[in-house]
Chain A
Amino acid sequence: MKIFTRFGEFILMLKGMFTKPENWRMYWKELMHQCVELGIGSLGIVSIVSVFIGAVSTLQTAYQFISPIIPRSVIAQIVRDTVILEFAPTITCVVLAGVVGSKISSELGNMRVSEQIDALEIMGINTKAYLVLPKILAALITIPLLVILAMTLGIWGGRFVGEVTGILPHEVFDRGLVEAFVPYNVKFALVKAYTFAFIITAIPAYFGYNVKGGALEIGRASTTAVVSSCIIILLADYVLAAVLL
C-alpha cells in the first residue's frame, strides 16, 4: 500500500508545480541557475565516462571479432550503435542519477529539515513550483545535450583507442561509422534522454521534498532516491526499447 501512497504523493507534487509563478524573472533566474548546476556541473563526469565507454567498446568488440571474413569496419558500426542506442543515454543517465539525483535529494532534504522550505511557504511562494519545476526543466534542457555530447565523445573515444592500439586505423573506423547508419537511432536515444532526465530529477526531488527528521533521514532519502531512479531508468529503458524499436 505504501507504494500507492507514495505514487499518489508524487503525482500531487507534480500537479502542485503548475501554478502561475509569483515572479517570472525569479523563476527564470532559478531555471538558469539549475541549468548551470545540472548541465555544466555534470560535463566533467559525462565526458570521462563517455570516452572510456567508447574506448572499452572498441577494444572488447575487436577482441570478439576473430573471423577474417567480417570486415574490421563493422567494429566501428557496432561501437557507434551501442554507444548511440545504449551507452550514451542509459549509462550516462544512470551515472547522472547518482550525481544529480543525490544532489537534488540532499539539497531539498536539507532545506526541508532546516525549515527553509517552510520559510519560502510563509513568504507565499509555491515551493513545488519554485524549487522542483526548475530542476526538472533544467534537466529536460541539459541532459539531452549531455547525451549528444556523450554519443560524440563515446565514438571519439572508440576511434582514438582503435588508432592508438592499432586495432582499427581511423580511416577504417570513419568508413564504418557511416555504413548502415540509421538516423532513427539518434531520435530513439533522445526519447530515452528526455524520459531519463525527468526520472533522475523528479524522483529525487520527491524524496528530498518529503524528508521528515534529520541528517540520517536526508542520507536515507538520498540513497532511496538514487536506487529508485536507477531501477526506474532500467525499467523505462526496457519499455522504450520494446515499444519503439
Chain B
Amino acid sequence: MISITNIAKGFSDKPVIEGVSAEFETGKCNLIIGASGSGKTVLMKCLVGLITPDAGEIMYDGENFSHMNDEAKKIMRRKIGMLFQGSALFDSKTVEQNIMFPLDMFSHDTRAEKQKRVDMVLDRVNLNGAHKKFPAEISGGMKKRVGIARSIVLNPQYLFCDEPNSGLDPQTSLVIDKLIREITTEYNITTVINTHDMNSVMEIGDRILYMYQGKKEWEGNSKEIIFSKNEKLNSFIFASDFLKDAKDMRMLEVSGKIDEKRNMDQLLNG
C-alpha cells in the first residue's frame, strides 16, 4: 500500500498540488483522475520521486520514501515499474533489448534465464514475435504493451501508469486496461493510474481519486462515482449528453432497475 499525507508542490511560487492525502491499495487499480492541469501528473511524479514535493510524506508499505537518501531511493525504485504517457522506449534498442535492459542492469541471472523472462513477459502482453522490431516499427498500442512488459520484467511491487490510453483507439484502450487489471491482480501489485479516460474509470477504477485545481476533490470507487452528487466531479466525468445517458443507464443497472426500464421501453415502443 502507498499512502500520501499532505503532499504539496509548487513551481515559481504557483501551487500545483496542495495538501493531497490518499491511500493506494495493494492488488487494486487506483486511479487519479482530473482535468488537464489539475496536478495529477505532478502528483504521480512526486510519488515516484522524479519531483521532490515541497511538503508532505510518501509511505511505501510503511517505508518513508520522502526521508530516504538518494541511494535508498534508488534501491526503492527497483521495486517500482512505470508506464509513461509516450511509452518512453529506447529508440536505439529493439523491443527485446528494451525489456532486457533492466534485467541486464540489475539481474544476476544467466543469459538464458533473462531471455526466458523476456519471452514470458512479451507473451504476457501478447507481443510474441515482436522481439526484433524497433519502437519506430510498431503501433502506439504495441508500444504501450512493450512499456508494460518493461515495467513488470523485474517483478515490481508498485506499478505507475501515466495516461496509459492516451492516443489509443477505444478498442486498444480496452485491451490495455484489461492487461493492467490482470497484471495488478495476478502479481498483487499496487497500481496507480493517471487517466482521463472515462472508460478506464468505469472498467478498472477500484479506487478513484479526483483532483481539481491541485486539490483532492473526491475519493471513491467506480460504483460510488455514478451516485456522487459532487458537481465538479459530475461535470468532469459526465461532460457530454451521451455520457449523462450512460450514467443514467448505469445507475439503473447498479440499482437493479435495468430490466424494469427495458420492459418499459419495450412497452412504449410497442
Q: Is the CB of B48 within 8 A of A122?
A: yes
A114 to B76, CA, bound (A): 23
Instruction: Say if the beta carbon of A116 comes within 8 Å of chain B.
Output: yes
Q: Is the CB of B86 within 8 A of A124?
A: no
Instruction: Say if the beta carbon of A119 comes within 8 Å of chain B.
Output: yes
Q: How far is the CB of B219 from chain A (nearest CB, A)?
A: 26
Closest to B89 in A: A116
Q: Is the CB of A124 within 8 A of B75?
A: yes
Q: Is the CB of A115 within 8 A of B85?
A: yes
Q: How far is the CB of A89 from chain B (nearest CB, A)?
A: 31
A114 to B147, CA, bound (A): 13
Q: How far is the CB of A66 from chain B (nearest CB, A)?
A: 56
Q: Is the CB of B74 within 8 A of A126?
A: yes
* Contact digits for B84-121, partner A, Cβ 8 Å, 1 yes 0 no: 11101111000000000110111000000000000000
Q: Is the CB of B106 within 8 A of A124?
A: yes
The verdict on A119 contacting B105 (CB below 8 Å), with A124-B74, A124-B77, A124-B78 known, is no
- Pick the contact of B106: A22, A110, A114, A119 (CB < 8 A): A22
* Contact digits for A112-125, partner B, Cβ 8 Å, 1 yes 0 no: 00111011011111
Instruction: Say if the beta carbon of B80 comes within 8 Å of chain A.
Output: yes
Residues A88-126 near B (CB distance < 8 A): 110, 114-116, 118-119, 121-126
Q: Is the CB of B84 within 8 A of A121?
A: no
CB-CB < 8 A to A119: which residues of B?
Answer: 82, 84, 88, 90
Q: Is the CB of B50 within 8 A of A125?
A: no
Q: Is the CB of B105 within 8 A of A22?
A: yes
Q: How far is the CB of B199 from chain A (nearest CB, A)?
A: 24
Q: Is the CB of B77 within 8 A of A121?
A: yes
CB-CB < 8 A to B154: which residues of A?
Answer: 123
Q: How many residues of B contact A (CB 8 A)?
A: 25
CB-CB < 8 A to B81: which residues of A?
Answer: 122
Q: Is the CB of A122 within 8 A of B80?
A: yes
Closest to B48 in A: A122
CB-CB < 8 A to A126: which residues of B?
Answer: 74
A122 to B153, CA, bound (A): 13
Q: Is the CB of B86 within 8 A of A123?
A: no
CB-CB < 8 A to B82: which residues of A?
Answer: 118-119, 122
The B contact surface, by secondary structure, is mixed
Number of A-B contacts (CB under 8 A): 54
Q: How far is the CB of A122 from chain B (nearest CB, A)?
A: 5
CB-CB < 8 A to A121: which residues of B?
Answer: 49-50, 77
CB-CB < 8 A to A124: which residues of B?
Answer: 74-78, 106
Q: Is the CB of B88 within 8 A of A114?
A: yes
Closest to A20 in B: B71
Q: Is the CB of B104 within 8 A of A23?
A: yes
Instruction: Say if the beta carbon of A26 comes within 8 Å of chain B.
Output: yes
A121 to B50, CA, bound (A): 8
Q: Is the CB of A123 within 8 A of B50?
A: no
Residues A106-157 near B (CB distance < 8 A): 110, 114-116, 118-119, 121-126
CB-CB < 8 A to A110: which residues of B?
Answer: 91
CB-CB < 8 A to B74: which residues of A?
Answer: 22, 124-126
A64 to B89, CA, bound (A): 58
Q: How far is the CB of B40 from chain A (nearest CB, A)?
A: 16
A114 to B84, CA, bound (A): 9
Q: Is the CB of A122 within 8 A of B105?
A: no
Q: How far is the CB of B134 from chain A (nearest CB, A)?
A: 14
A22 to B85, CA, bound (A): 26
Chain A CB within 10 Å, residue with most, of B76, B78, B160: B78
The verdict on A115 contacting B88 (CB below 8 Å), with A121-B50, A123-B102 known, is yes
Closest 5 CB pairs of A and B: A124-B77, A115-B88, A119-B88, A124-B74, A115-B84
Can you list 24 A-B contacts (CB < 8 A)?
A23-B105, A23-B106, A110-B91, A114-B86, A114-B88, A115-B85, A116-B88, A116-B90, A118-B82, A118-B84, A119-B82, A121-B49, A121-B77, A122-B48, A122-B77, A122-B80, A123-B101, A123-B106, A123-B154, A124-B74, A124-B75, A124-B78, A125-B105, A126-B74
